[in-house]
Amino acid sequence: MDPYLMNRLGNTQNRYQNFQKYKRVVCVCSAGLLRSPTAAVVLSQEPWNFNTRAVGLVPEFALVPLDQVLLEWADEFVVMTSDQELDVSCRLEKLHLETPVVCLNIPDNFGYRDPELVRMISERYLAAHEKRVKG
């Protein structure tokens, strides 16, 4: 195994990240430049306070592409579309991981931190969370 990858994979279990206190959430969109970074900001603040990362699925455009390390690091994935939900779920399945994937169904027509985008992320994540809690 590539030593660089091995070190990065080892860091996914770094005990100083305080896993029990801060859920690790990877926010996903196509390029990782607008929707997922906005979701990462929203979910890293009150009331959630998650440890977040923003990634993209399209390698030609993604500033930070989704890779094996982030797939293994995350406690949860938040995606913007059903196509992205399917893509992430397939990648997780190949690694035999059962990490939850939450789809917010948000189209790609917002700027970074657009107030409407922030509102949609907050409302839709809360609704998804409440649905999971009710079981």
Is pLDDT of 4 > 60? no
Domain boundaries of the chain, sorted by first residue: 18-134
**pLDDT tens track for 7-47:** 666 666 666 666 667 899 999 999 999 999 999 999 999 99
Question: Tell me, what's the pLDDT at 16?
Answer: 62
Question: Tell me, what's the pLDDT at 18?
Answer: 61
The answer to whether 103 and 132 are in contact (CB under 8 A) is no
pTM above 0.85, yes or no: yes
List C-alpha distances in Å: 122 to 18, 44, 58, 80, 103: 24, 11, 25, 13, 13
Q: Which CATH class is domain 18-134?
A: alpha beta
Question: Tell me, what's the pLDDT at 45?
Answer: 97
